[in-house]
């Protein structure tokens, strides 16, 4: 039985911002059709680098008047540069799980059970890439997409991070357990602090969505739970902040 969802038709997306556009041009797997610059912007070394990368690859470069550029890319975070490309292509689950085997490294994965804010997704991608996570598993429904907002928030890390998009997170967990990967759920007040748990072995960490956390059906599949201590009055952390704290604890233990 295949654990991967039917792969979606990739949509055209507009990636914006200096780092996301640069990384899109450097990524072999992400074809860029055109690069747009906003007219009147102060010339910067990063702009020249992007222009040279595009021209070297035979990609069209257009200098657009400010109103035209804003109409194409209304985000104030565009930094005067955008690229027309395709959204990130997910990998089949088995291919994702083969990555640490091919690299001869201890498996390190993240599963996101319903993270719906693309800015949270982008921040998680950025931290996961920095911590050496081999891949992220997302559900095909009730999840933020790998679109321009996630790409911008990831500051280009989206191009380096591998993903699998599946219909059922529990199936991904089952496939990981078959490979000897320990499943750790992160839930407030549901387990010991992560620095009291040995996380040096093959591990996949499950984080729930904003507000509701990990769904009960997914919770029942976890091998262990950990919680991040909180001394203040607010009893929950932003999911991207919690992800960063736990991933760096795993990195610290493996150092």
- Residue 82 belongs to a domain with what CATH number? 3.30.1330.30
Note whether residue 123 is domain-resident.
yes
Note whether residue 4 is domain-resident.
no
Paired strand residues for 111 = 137, 206
Range of the domain at 34: 12-86
State which of 86, 102, 120 marks the end of a domain: 86
In tens digits, the chain (255 residues) has pLDDT values of 444 445 455 678 888 899 889 988 988 666 889 999 999 887 778 899 999 999 999 999 999 999 999 998 888 888 999 999 887 788 999 999 999 999 999 999 999 998 999 999 999 999 999 999 999 999 988 888 888 888 889 888 888 899 999 999 999 999 999 999 999 999 887 889 999 999 999 999 999 988 788 999 999 999 999 998 877 776 677 899 999 999 999 999 999
Note whether residue 3 is domain-resident.
no
Note whether residue 6 is domain-resident.
no
State whether 166 and 205 are in the same domain.
yes
State whether 104 and 169 are in the same domain.
yes
Of the candidates 26, 44, 57, the residue with the CA atom closest to the CA atom of residue 156: 26
Residue-by-residue DSSP string for 213-255: BS-HHHHTT-SEEE-----SS-----HHHHHHHHHHHHHHHH-
pTM: 0.81
The total domain count for the chain is 2
Report the CATH number that the domain containing residue 176 is assigned in CATH.
3.40.1280.10
């Amino acid at each position: 039985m295949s654990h991967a969802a039917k792969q979606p038709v990739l949509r055209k997306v507009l990636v914006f911002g200096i780092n996301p556009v640069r990384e899109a041009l450097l990524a072999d797997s992400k074809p860029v059709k055109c690069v747009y610059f906003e007219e009147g912007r102060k010339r910067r070394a990063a702009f020249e680098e992007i222009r040279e990368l595009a021209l070297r690859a035979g990609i069209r470069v257009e200098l657009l008047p400010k109103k035209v550029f804003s109409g194409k890319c209304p985000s104030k975070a565009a930094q005067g540069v955008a690229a027309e490309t395709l959204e990130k292509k997910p990998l089949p689950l088995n291919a994702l799980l083969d990555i640490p085997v091919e690299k001869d490294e201890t498996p390190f994965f993240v599963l996101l059970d319903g993270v719906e804010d693309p800015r949270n997704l982008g921040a998680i991608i950025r931290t996961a890439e920095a911590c050496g996570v081999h891949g992220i598993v997302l559900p095909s429904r009730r999840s933020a997409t790998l679109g321009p907002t996630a790409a911008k928030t990831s500051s280009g890390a989206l191009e380096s991070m591998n993903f699998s998009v599946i219909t059922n997170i529990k199936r991904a967990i089952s496939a990981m357990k078959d490979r000897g990967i320990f499943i750790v759920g992160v839930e407030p007040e549901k387990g010991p602090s992560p620095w009291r748990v040995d996380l040096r072995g093959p591990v996949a960490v499950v984080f729930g969505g904003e507000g509701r956390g990990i769904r009960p059906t997914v919770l029942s599949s976890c091998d262990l739970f950990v919680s991040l201590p909180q001394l203040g009055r607010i009893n929950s952390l932003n999911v991207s902040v919690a992800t960063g704290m736990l991933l760096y604890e795993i990195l610290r233990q493996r150092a």
